[in-house]
């Protein structure tokens, strides 16, 4: 297999960082926005306490994913 030049390596790192960061965005959408909108309905999926616990957990994990993505970007030369 041929060795990738530095530009190709940088692009791969940027794509990986974007993917990881987008996973965090999806986690916020699934764990915060969807249950939050559900609270407005007559039969919410989670209670308010459960919503706060799940929401804070998802935000924390999303932030960690964002930091991992930034770690990939630190390797760009």
Q: What is the mean pLDDT of the chain?
A: 90
pLDDT tens per residue across span 11-64:
999 999 999 999 999 999 998 888 888 888 888 888 889 989 999 999 999 999
Q: Please, how many CA atoms are within 13 Å of residue 46, restricted to the half-sphere of its CB?
A: 16
Distance CA 53, CA 33 (A): 13
Distance CA 24, CA 68 (A): 10
pTM of the model as a whole: 0.81
Distance CA 46, CA 63 (A): 23
Burial of 74 (0-12, 13-18, 19+ CB in 10 A): exposed
């Amino acid at each position: 297999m041929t060795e990738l030049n530095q530009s190709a390596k940088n692009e791969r790192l940027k794509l990986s960082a974007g993917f990881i960061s987008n996973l965090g965005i999806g986690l916020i959408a699934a764990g915060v926005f969807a249950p939050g909108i559900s609270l407005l309905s007559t039969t919410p999926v989670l209670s308010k306490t459960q919503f706060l616990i799940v929401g804070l957990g998802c935000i924390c994990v999303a932030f960690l994913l964002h930091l991992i993505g930034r770690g990939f970007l630190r390797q760009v030369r």
